[in-house]
Amino acid sequence: MTLATVVATIEARTPAGRDRAIDGLRALALLAVPTGHWLLGGFTLDGAGTLRNASPLTAMGGFAPLSWVLQMLGVFFLVGGYASVLSYRRRPATTAAWIRQRVVRLGRPVLGVTAVWAVLLPALYAVGVPATTLRTASTLVIQPLWFVGIYVVVTALTPCCVRAARVAGAWAAAPLLGAVAVVDLLRYGPWADAMPSWLSAANLLPGWLFAYQLGVCWAGGALGRRTARALLAGGVVLFAALLLVFHYPASMVGVPGAVRTNSHPPSLLVLALAAAQCGAAVLLRDRIGRLLARPAVWAPVVVINLSAMTILCWHQSAMLAVAVPGSFLGPVAGLTTSPDSLGWIVARLTWLPLFASLLVVIGRYARGFDGPWRTGNPAATAWRAAAGLLAAGFGLFALGLV
């Protein structure tokens, strides 16, 4: 089958009423995840030949604005809220059944990747991969999966978000912004030394629910262009104030050794960026839709969306498939050398096509984890139970609990 035939087939199978702009925004946010991790994450190789996590932002803080572009989770949650409302309206059964179906669909790929790595760990150790390297790899694999857990929680709150949007419109997101602002004031303000260490975790739910709630409002018609312009302008002003006046860290991703981080859990700076991104997304919707009316542009968007969970769950594995064997070769520019120079950036860019190609290969087989589970089959039930135990074991190892 030729590429032209594939493009024509995808175009023919696309429903006439499909909102292509929403899929385009989701694809853009999806691609930002591996690109960000591959560009802003690196390794150091110690004398014993073991890999440890590192970041070019430690030595080259001037590249922090790149993280403002690549951190697009605000757009992802916006589109997620929008799409969830459409799905919720079409639910064929009860709300509980709809939530259960969504949770299972998100959980299957996570179970797959963690179970596979639980099997890989002892196999790699047996062939000589150092335990520290395996710990580093496990941390990178599990790192993106926190997002899936948070997304499951906010998805389960969709009925509440819909009701809030009906009552308060786009203002339903304002209390979430306020809650994060209060927590930030407590943990970074004059009383910071008296605050418990767990306080920052209070930002997890409102921080990521903010953009999701905006997406729910958008789907319900409560987020129009006027509100979008206010979000864009307000987000930019707040973002600048937090950076320049309140001295928030400039990086939107975690930097090894940094005292403060914006992303884990989200700070008010993350919400300011999300507000600006969401406003821009709403304002650009029509233009994006017109661009994606072209079949050749639309086809890759469809492929990316169909591979969403594969991209999220396996992109770090694609990088590790190169870095772990590379660690046995000694320092390799852009791969296992310290990310502390412009030369490293240039070298890392040359590795990205290989990472992407390996992700495509891995995805060809990993997508089998995304499909529905067979029911009523004792063998299938046993395999699911075994996969669950393996996944739990890997999670404990990755979190440093074993």
pLDDT per residue as tens digits for the range 176-226 = 999 999 999 999 988 888 889 889 999 999 999 999 999 999 999 999 999
Please say if the pLDDT value at position 301 is more than 80.
yes
Could you tell me the residue range of the domain that residue 146 belongs to?
20-398
Tally the domains of the chain: 1
pLDDT class of 374 with cuts at 50, 70, 90: low
In this predicted structure, what is the pLDDT of residue 376? 61
- Token pair 């930097």 is at which residue? 255
Provide, for the chain, the percentages of residues in helix, strand and coil under a 3-state DSSP scheme, each rounded to the nearest 5: 75, 0, 20
Cβ neighbours around 143 below 10 Å, total? 16
Q: Is there a domain that residue 47 lies in?
A: yes
Q: Is there a domain that residue 14 lies in?
A: no
Going by C-beta distance under 8 Å and a sequence separation of 6 or more, which residues neighbour residue 248?
Answer: 242, 260, 262, 267, 268, 269
* 67-111 pLDDT, tens digit each: 999 999 999 999 999 999 999 998 888 889 999 988 888 888 998
Helix (H) or strand (E) holding 227: helix 225-244
Query: 259 is written with which tokens?
Result: 């005292």
Angle, helices 145-156 vs 95-126, to 10°: value is: 170
Q: Which residues pair with 54 in a beta bridge?
A: 42
Please say if the pLDDT value at position 267 is more than 80.
yes
Three-state DSSP at 260 gives coil
In this predicted structure, what is the pLDDT of residue 402? 56
Q: Is there a domain that residue 7 lies in?
A: no
Q: Is there a domain that residue 2 lies in?
A: no
Q: Is there a domain that residue 246 lies in?
A: yes
Please say if the pLDDT value at position 372 is more than 80.
no
Q: Is there a domain that residue 250 lies in?
A: yes
The candidate with the shortest Cα–Cα distance to 74, out of 279, 225, 246, is 279
In this predicted structure, what is the pLDDT of residue 377? 66
In this predicted structure, what is the pLDDT of residue 145? 85
Q: Is there a domain that residue 26 lies in?
A: yes
- Tell me the one-letter amino acid at 75: V
Q: Is there a domain that residue 4 lies in?
A: no
Share of the chain above pLDDT 90, in %: 71
Do 86 and 221 meet the contact criterion of CB atoms below 8 Å apart?
A: no
